[in-house]
Every structure is written in structure tokens, then in C-alpha cells.
Chains A and B, each alone.
Chain A
Amino acid sequence: GNSVTQMEGPVTLSEEAFLTINCTYTATGYPSLFWYVQYPGEGLQLLLKATKADDKGSNKGFEATYRKETTSFHLEKGSVQVSDSAVYFCAQNTGGFKTIFGAGTRLFVKA
């Protein structure tokens, strides 16, 4: 069945470090891919998305490229800030009924 696998956390970085959070998926068909972020005490919100192969989603300095050949959608940011501390969820939807989420990766950024 369809699934999403993302790297386990927590990930702890110093401010201005480079961030990568890995995400791979299995799907029948060609899903849309998403990164959602959950800040402390808040609900999930969309960070970025890509709807077809080779698309790059970007927002707030974060980027992720839809790689069909490796079934991946890794999240990157060149220079993290303390305010980026949150839980990041990778997700997919193939246009059916379900958006499937990964388990989440908690990021801590130290000043």
C-alpha cells in the first residue's frame, strides 16, 4: 500500500546550519507530495508542496524537489533559525481519499 517514510528525529542543529530531512514514499500512481510543519502548541500547516515529478516546492527558505526516480521528497534549508524548531511531516496524496502522513521529524535549533 501507499506509505511515507521519513528520517527519525530528533534532529538538533545550531543556528545557521544546513538542514536536510529525508522523506521517501511508496505509491501506486503519481502522488502529490507535501511537507507540513507543526510549531509548538499549534496545528499542522502546509509548508510546501509539489504536484508532479521534478517540481520544486519552496517556502520560507525551505525547498524540496519531487524525485520520481528515487521516490523521494527531501526537505532542505540552507540556514536554519531558532524559530524553525518544530515537527515536520512529509505526506502524499494520489488523488484518492487519503492524505498519508509520515511519523514526523522533530527539529531543535540551538542559538
Chain B
Amino acid sequence: EAGVAQSPRYKIIEKRQSVAFWCNPISGHATLYWYQQILGQGPKLLIQFQNNGVVDDSQLPKDRFSAERLKGVDSTLKIQPAKLEDSAVYLCASSPAQGASGNTIYFGEGSWLTVV
């Protein structure tokens, strides 16, 4: 079974530039997540989709971050304009469905962003 795919793996941009990350979840997984992981910290949920609808984006800085999941499959996370504090690993993850607390979340390898 193919895992969660993310690209690009690494990106270096200057502050105020824009960047986009792409994610393809595991086939058949209804729930897709974007997490931000700053060095030395645990993952922080940015946004969660159920199919193509947003169910939680309370910690997404909406003035600069946006995400979409067209057709309920793959997803794109965009940052515009980037700030130095956005330097982090952006983790995409998926799970079969929401609501069941015991659901395992399956993570991609992450997209490493450095803003200089």
C-alpha cells in the first residue's frame, strides 16, 4: 500500500516569497491533515479536511496560509507571504475517517521549509 506522498521534500525561500506544498494521501482515506512541526516541538495541527470539507482550521494563520483539497483527494498548502517563523517541517497525514478516537494517523515524510 502506498503511503502519504508529499512534495517538495525541501524548500528554501526568502521572506515575503510564496511557497506551495502538495500532498497525496493514502487511497481511500477520507481525512487529511496538515501539521506544522517546528524544530524541537511536537506537530501542531494547521488544518483538517473530511473529504473536501474543512472540519478544523482554528490554528491556521489565515492571513498568510491557505489550503485546499479539491475533489476530496490530494491537497495543497500555500504560504504567502512567508515569514522567518514559518521555517518548519510541514507534515501531511491521512486517516480512514474522523470521529473514532482510536484512528491511526499516517504521516508523510514531510516538506522541510527554510525561510531566510
Contacts and interface: CB of A to CB of B under 8 A. Distances in A.
Interface residues of A, number: 26
Interface in B97-116: 98-110
A60 B56 CA distance: 34
B4 interface: yes
B42 A49 contact: no
A20 interface: no
A108 interface: no
A101 B99 CA distance: 17
Contacts, number: 58
A43 B91 contact: yes
Given A95-B99, A99-B45, A102-B42, A42 B109 contact: yes
B61 interface: no
Interface of A: 4, 31-32, 34, 36, 41-46, 49, 51, 89, 91, 93-99, 101-104
Interface of B: 4, 40-45, 48, 55-56, 91, 93, 98-110
11 contacts: A32-B101, A34-B104, A41-B109, A42-B109, A45-B107, A51-B101, A89-B43, A93-B102, A97-B56, A98-B48, A101-B43
Closest 6 CB pairs of A and B: A95-B101, A101-B42, A43-B107, A32-B101, A51-B102, A97-B56
